[in-house]
A and B are shown apart, each in its own frame.
Chain A
């Protein structure tokens, strides 16, 4: 009956407490995380270490994708193992649009002509809309199931996308699709590493603010109840299914937008972005950071990429250590990095 038991991973996160203030520890941790993420690449840029600016962009975008996933897993109790579908679709939209803009060929020629575009604004809009539609279709079917079935069916849909991209030669198949010129925005130079980082940072901050706002709203209250006790929600007269579905769609839109930016960051999109490794990585980041914690995905992404960089430099088997850390979090620190840094979530 109670579908929330799919999220036993989740330490029962609830409504985010009212706006983080300067005075409480959680607020300080949140501001600290954002400050580190913003100031480190600024310093690196002015010291001439472009590599680190791009690394910060990568952390930012993975965090943003995980913010999307956290809305589904953490706040909605929907353990999606297929968010790479949206991350990758966003990436392919950026890639395909740029490819046709470069070639002066239409993306679609019939029944109506859709030209390629190297405008980020157009690409973002397309990524948000199409990822939303894809999630509407996948969610409408997947949300009829719960528990392990939900995990498996979301994985299955993402794998379908993965194999489809792999076998579609027009857009590079398994070799992927390069983006020769980074897509553009009016007034700014997106090729500048710092400018591009600031765009990504803006995207992350917006998605965090949106999540916080949504979770404080009536919709957020309904979604929280759908996760904690969907029988109670239905008994009150609110059907849980549409509430979950809408949250799933918003979640995919955020992850998809992050994916579009991620392809532009790398100048490349390939089926890897759609693979189950990618879904798993996002899930691991959400769990590391703290399921259902607003800033959990950022904390998780920082930790994940740091570990990958530091341990990955020492040993090929760095994922073994990642596994150990994950095991530790799941067994001993269920509230993740944010639970450890900022204390447990309170409810009002």
Chain B
């Protein structure tokens, strides 16, 4: 096939009577940002969930760098290089920001059954965690408990956690939500630079950011991909304008 980093083939997922994913096939190639847009309830987060492994598809397959990962667990997929952020952030609230990121570094190093050496002041864990936070411009929050962060900041911590995994593909579920214009601009810049390190499947509602960042866009409506192409094509697509861009 292609040299796609990530490819989904004919994914289907039903929640009772609701078809949340309907025969979805798409891929993510090196050096690109592939944006996934669509109205609320279209099934975007469900799709990310299936790629990351938390949700099992009813049928279809998912491959990461050519390897079929459909049957693997969340943790196994993460170890193979799938990093993600959640739409509703999922972090350990009472722990500091740096502790949340350090767990990712620890996972990357693959040594979690070590019982003796204390982790606080373990430079091999701390340094990469702080580096990831610095990229997200969150270094000043490293020692703050996650519970004290704003929603926008939590999203960014999640992206930092994903980056600390040195992923081969990044799945970001509405990372700009709750950031404010300044934060959105900063994150847009960051993602633009990042895509050459790791390709990104980006779910985003901020259309300015999407049109600026995305190399390709897929439009999801009621579980199906109804359109696919570059920014110009999507902007011009009458079906998309009607179903989603709202005019």
A binding-site residues for B, Cβ under 8 Å: 1, 12, 14-15, 18, 213-214, 216-222, 224-225, 228-229, 231-240, 243, 246, 347-348
Known: A236-B161, A238-B106, A348-B120. A12 touches B94 (CB 8 A): yes
Looking at the assembled complex, report how far the CB atom of A11 sits from the nearest CB atom of chain B, in whole angstroms.
10
CB-CB under 8 A for A222 and B106, given A1-B54, A217-B119, A231-B54: yes
> Closest residue to B106 on the A side, CB-wise?
A218
Q: How far is the CA of A216 from the CA of B118 in the complex (A)?
A: 5
Which one of B86, B92, B115, B143 contacts A224 once the chains associate, using CB atoms below 8 Å?
B92
B145 nearest CB neighbor, chain A only: A347
Segment among B72-80, B187-195, B217-225, B236-244 that sits at the interface with chain A: B72-80
Q: Is B13 an interface residue (CB 8 A)?
A: no
Contact A236 B107 (CB under 8 A): yes
Contact check, A228 vs B92: say whether CB atoms are below 8 A apart.
yes
Residues B118 and A217 in contact, CB atoms below 8 Å apart = yes
Given known contacts A224-B95, A236-B107, what 13 new A-B pairs fall within 8 Å (CB)?
A: A14-B94, A18-B118, A216-B118, A218-B114, A219-B113, A221-B112, A222-B106, A222-B112, A229-B91, A235-B84, A236-B75, A240-B75, A347-B95
Closest B residue to A240 by CB, please name it.
Answer: B75
Q: Which of B54, B106, B125 has the most CB of A within 10 A?
A: B106
Task: Report if A237-B75 is in contact (Cβ < 8 Å); known contacts: A222-B103, A231-B54, A348-B96.
Answer: yes
A239 to B90, CA, bound (A): 16
Taking a contact as CB atoms under 8 Å apart, the answer to whether B92 and A225 are in contact is yes
Hey, which chain A residues are within 8 Å of B103, CB to CB?
221-222, 225, 232-233, 236, 238
- Who on chain B is nearest to A13 by CB? B94
15 contacts across the A-B interface (CB closer than 8 A): A1-B54, A14-B94, A15-B99, A218-B113, A221-B119, A222-B106, A225-B95, A228-B92, A234-B54, A235-B86, A236-B104, A236-B165, A237-B108, A240-B75, A243-B112
**Docked-complex contact B78 and A235, CB < 8 angstroms:** yes
**Is residue B52 contacting chain A, with contact meaning CB distance below 8 A?**
yes
B111 in the interface (beta carbon within 8 A):
yes
- Residues of chain A with a CB closer than 8 A to B116's CB: 213, 217
Contact B115 A217 (CB under 8 A): yes
B100 within 8 A of A: yes
Q: Write the chain B residue with the least CB distance to A233.
A: B103
Whether B140 sits at the interface, judged by CB under 8 Å, is no
Assess the A18–B120 pair: CB atoms within 8 A. yes
Contacts of B74 in A (CB 8 A): 231, 234-235
**Contacting residues, chain A, for B145 (C-beta < 8 A):** 347
Nearest chain A CB to B110 CB, angstrom units: 8
In the assembled complex, which residues on chain B have CB atoms less than 8 Å from the CB atom of A222? 103, 106, 112
Q: Which 4 A-B pairs have the closest CB atoms?
A: A237-B78, A228-B92, A237-B107, A239-B75
A234: chain B residues within 8 A (beta carbon): 54, 73-75, 78
In the docked arrangement, what's the CA distance between A234 and B118, Å?
22
Residues on B with beta carbons closer than 8 Å to the beta carbon of A14? 94-95
- B78, B114, B118, most chain A CB atoms within 10 A: B118
Contact across chains for B99 and A221 when beta carbons are under 8 A apart: yes
Q: A228 near B94 (CB under 8 angstroms)? A: yes
Report the separation of the CA atoms of residues A104 and B113 in the bound assembly, to the nearest whole angstrom.
42
Q: How far is the CA of A235 from the CA of B82 in the complex (A)?
A: 9
In the complex, the chain B residue whose C-beta lies closest to that of A242 is B113
Closest to A214 in B: B115
Q: How far is the CA of A222 from the CA of B107 in the complex (A)?
A: 9
Known contacts A214-B115, A219-B115, A228 near B93 by CB under 8 Å: yes
A214 CB to nearest chain B CB (Å): 5
**The one of A217, A221, A232 that contacts B90, using a Cβ cutoff of 8 Å:** A232
CB within 8 Å of A: which of B138-168?
143, 145, 161, 165
Q: Check if A229 sits within 8 Å of B107, measured CB to CB.
A: no
Q: How far is the CB of B198 from chain A (nearest CB, A)?
A: 15
CA of A235 to CA of B73, assembled, Å: 10
CB within 8 Å of A: which B179-213 residues: none
Check if A232 sits within 8 Å of B120, measured CB to CB. Answer: no
Residues B79 and A231 in contact, CB atoms below 8 Å apart: no
User: How many Å lie between the Cα of A232 and that of B85 in the bound state?
Assistant: 10
CA distance in complex: A257, B80 (Å):
40
Bound-state CA distance A298–B146 (Å) is 31
Q: Which residues of B contact A243 (CB under 8 A)?
A: 112
What is the CA–CA distance of A217 and B127 in the complex, to the nearest angstrom? 17
The distance in angstroms between the C-alpha atoms of A219 and B119, with both chains bound, is: 9
Across the interface, which residues of B come within 8 angstroms of A233, CB to CB?
A: 75, 103
Selected from B73, B78, B93, B106, the residue in CB contact (under 8 A) with A221 is B106
